[in-house]
Amino acid sequence: MRLDYLTIFPDFFAPLELSLPGKAAASGLLDFAVHDLRDWTHDRHRKVDDTPYGGGAGMVMKPEPWGEAFDQLLAPGATVIFTTPSGEPFDQRLAEELATRERLVFACGRYEGIDQRVIDHAREIAEVREISLGDYVLNGGEVAALAITEAVVRLLPGFMGNAESLVEESHAQGGLLEYPVYTKPPLWRGHEVPAVLRSGDHGKVAAWRHEQAVRRTAERRPDLLAPSVLDDGTPIVRATPGDAGEILTLQRACWVQEAQANDTLDIPALQESFDDVRGWLGEWDTWVVRRAGRLVGAVRGRLEGEHTWDIGRIMVAPDLQGSGLGRVLLEHIQAVAPAGVTSYVLFTGAASARNQRLYKKAGFRLRTDLPAPPHAVVLSKRR
Ligand code: JD8
């Protein structure tokens, strides 16, 4: 990847000299250059700004120096990034997209901004992205260019020591915030490292980390938990303890049908009490769907070991069965499985033909080699 920076403050990019070269040179993955915009002025004052048409405070950057700089710098296939407070929000998904480009040219403005014709002109000759680092006002585009550079370059293959860690990160895969991390000593200033992390039980550690990540995200960034929605816009949201009663009611309604289909009442979901439901709501990632306030669907998932996502209790109100809600709940619970999950497992009634059709259509396969609860069959699917 080739990176070019156009700015009236080239020294702003000195940090690149620190962070990039070693790795870049070593891997041949990257080269970069910083350019002083004033190099494309021809007057003795090297003027890059002028007063705004239409009046108002401050100065605007003149178009001519940019035009001449682009004439020299913009080779075919280049992507020009104008960092601007009025740009599209920068996030991990955009970083992953920009990491696929061969050449990025950062146009870093100052003053009140750059003459709009520079952006319009650039769009005629190259891919242009106007990107904002965040909803706050900086004095120029350089800081944003540096931040975008770090977020993009670290995604380049061979750049990060262990690519695996990229998968687990916050915001990667539209995911959860980081779980808390600890290192030695086990006790520090009266603060202990959580015992589960020193248990050696990888399954329990993975489950604790996922539960912590979910809790943090719900507390700090509920927007990241934005529900996926049904075709009619109905959201699938995380269940709360307050949903326990309705979940119990829906569960009983749904498993009466399972009991009829499998000719047995010996089904845990049918036997559970209100407290049982409240109990497992704290252990499973549970999602619900409400229509006109009525809880009409639910599903749960949790880690079994390190890499298996245990799916269960897919419930759809009897009057809505056949509407596709079950399929959407099954897709959703797969989608929200943690990054490290490599397979899904679930079980249903041995005589529950409709459920088994739904799961097989979704790519699950019967697993006669795995132990199944009484009157049930197990199905699994690789992620
Ligand atoms: C480029 C000039 C300053 C902005 C008048 C203050 C990005 N997330 C972000 N916040 N601010 C910027 C940014 C600010 C810039 C320039 C980016 C060029 N300014 C201007 C408009 C109001 N002054 C940014 N990315």
For position 214, what pLDDT does the model report?
79
For position 24, what pLDDT does the model report?
58
- Does domain 166-225 fall under CATH 1.10.1270.20? My reply is yes
Q: How confident is the model at residue 168 (pLDDT cuts 50, 70, 90)?
A: low
* pLDDT tens by residue, 132-161: 999 999 999 999 999 999 999 999 887 766
Q: Which protein residues are within 6 Å of ligand 1, measured from CB?
A: 83-85, 87, 109-110, 112-113, 132-134, 136-141, 144
Q: Ligand 1 centroid to 335 CA: how many Å?
A: 36
201 annotated binding-site participant: no
Residue nearest to atom 15 of ligand 1 (CA): 140
3-state secondary structure the chain: CEEEEEECCHHHHHHHHHHCHHHHHHHCCCEEEEEEHHHHCCCCCCCCEECCCCCCCCCEECHHHHHHHHHHHCCCCEEEEEEEEEEEECCHHHHHHHCCCCEEEEEECCCCCECHHHHHHHHHHCEEEEEECCCCCCCCCHHHHHHHHHHHHCCCCCCCCCHHHHHHCCCHHHCCCCCCCCCCCCEECCEECCHHHHCCCHHHHHHHHHHHHHHHHHHHCHHHHCCCECCCCCEEEECCHHHHHHHHHHHHHHHHHHHHHHCCCCCHHHHCCHHHHHHHHCCCEEEEEEECCEEEEEEEEEEECCCEEEEEEEEECHHHCCCCHHHHHHHHHHHCCCCCCCEEEEEEECCCHHHHHHHHHCCCEECCCCCCCCCEEEEEEEC
137 annotated binding-site participant: yes
For residue 138, give the ligand 1 atom closest to its CA. Answer: 11
For residue 114, give the ligand 1 atom closest to its CA. Answer: 18
| Cβ atoms 302, 284 nearer than 8 A | yes
- What CATH number does domain 2-153 carry, 3.30.428.10, 3.90.1150.10, 3.30.465.10, 3.40.1280.10? 3.40.1280.10
* pLDDT tens by residue, 82-138: 999 999 999 999 999 999 999 999 999 999 999 999 999 999 999 999 999 999 999
User: Which of 97-101, 202-206, 364-368 comes out lowest in average pLDDT?
Assistant: 202-206
For residue 131, give the ligand 1 atom closest to its CA. Answer: 25
For position 6, what pLDDT does the model report?
98
Q: Ligand 1 centroid to 84 CA: how many Å?
A: 5
In this structure, what token pair is assigned to residue 173?
Answer: 């895969």
Q: Where in the chain is the domain with CATH 1.10.1270.20?
A: 166-225
Q: How confident is the model at residue 167 (pLDDT cuts 50, 70, 90)?
A: low
In this structure, what token pair is assigned to residue 230?
Answer: 């049904």
For position 305, what pLDDT does the model report?
82
378 annotated binding-site participant: no
For residue 135, give the ligand 1 atom closest to its CA. Answer: 8
Share of the chain above pLDDT 90, in %: 71
- Does domain 236-382 fall under CATH 1.10.620.20? My reply is no
Q: Ligand 1 centroid to 369 CA: how many Å?
A: 61
- Give the mutation target among 83, 110, 142, 149 for probing the ligand 1 site: most ligand atoms within 8 A of CB: 83
80 annotated binding-site participant: no
Q: Ligand 1 centroid to 112 CA: how many Å?
A: 8
Q: Ligand 1 centroid to 230 CA: how many Å?
A: 38
Q: Where in the chain is the domain with CATH 3.40.630.30?
A: 236-382
135 annotated binding-site participant: yes
Q: How far apart are CA 312 and CA 159, in angstroms?
A: 39
133 annotated binding-site participant: yes
